[in-house]
Amino acid sequence: MSVDGRLHGYCSGHPEYPGDLDALLAREADLEQVGKALVRAPQVSLPSPRLLPPLSKPGKIVCIGLNYAAHSAESGYEVPAYPTLFARFPSCLIGHEAPLLIPAVSDQLDYEGELVAVIGRGGRFISKDTALDHVAGYSIFNEASVRDYQFKTPQWTIGKNFDDTGAFGPHLVTADELPPGCKGLRVVTRLNGQTMQDGCTDDMMFDVAALVSILSEAMTLSPGDMIVTGTPSGVGFARTPPVFMQPGDVCEVEIEQVGVLRNPVEKQGR
């Protein structure tokens, strides 16, 4: 656990080690109490710590397309009556400061800064009124998309699941630390320090509570499932001329009160 930039915690063999976040969510542990215990844990000194994605084995990664009205418009779509849904798989995930990889077969890797809601209590047919009670916390996602592959087919799956394109982190902020449903938070994406996206979660057409409720109509949501809630306007492919990430770039996604997710960009070798 990070406290004022310092790491506190226990090694996995220590009797007070509480388990990783996947395990804590699976048993529906009280994350607030675990956090208080880790604050009291010894400071950990690591020469060059590497932050992994907060979750390594989410059962579901459900992404929402076209969820901000301005982004829907810039993409050429009408305002949807029902959310546009697609899946990512855990094999695409990388952590904070890990390189986003431009695939060897494409030069069209685009940035998409997004808020992630992580399910803490599972359920089916969850009402919108109680949906936020099922959210353990929030994090940040750079839902980097390989655009030429995304639009090869009517379904977006292939362009959304290249290895090392799903940046996630740097940490999970528990829901009690944030406004309900993360309402009113600014979402900013910067490429090499230049602001490319600047939106607000209030602009979501389907907010977190609505998404939890809608998804639970079709599937049982389980602890650790991720809902990647959509991106504001300003994506690269909708610009004139288009802007795609290049080797040597640095992309940052910042969400107010949640943090900053930063990733360098590299070209994948064959």
pLDDT digits (tens, 9 = 90+) for 12-63: 888 888 999 999 999 999 898 888 888 888 887 777 778 999 999 999 999 9
Q: Is 193 buried (19+), middle (13-18) or exposed (0-12) by CB count in 10 A?
A: exposed
Predicted confidence (pLDDT) per residue in 70-84, tens digit? 777 777 777 788 999
Is the separation of the CB atoms in 117 and 204 below 8 Å? no
Is the separation of the CB atoms in 134 and 120 below 8 Å? yes
Predicted pLDDT at 1: 64
Predicted pLDDT at 4: 64
Report angle CA 37, 28, 88 to the nearest 5 degrees. 110
Is the separation of the CB atoms in 264 and 100 below 8 Å? yes
Report the distance separating Cα 62 and Cα 229, nearest Å.
Answer: 8
**Greater model confidence, 35 or 219:** 219
Predicted confidence (pLDDT) per residue in 166-207, tens digit? 999 999 999 999 999 999 999 999 999 999 999 999 999 999
For the ranges 65-69, 132-136, 230-234, the lowest mean pLDDT is seen at 65-69
Helices marked H in the chain — which ranges? 21-26, 31-39, 69-74, 147-150, 208-218
* Residue range 251-255: mean pLDDT, rounded: 98
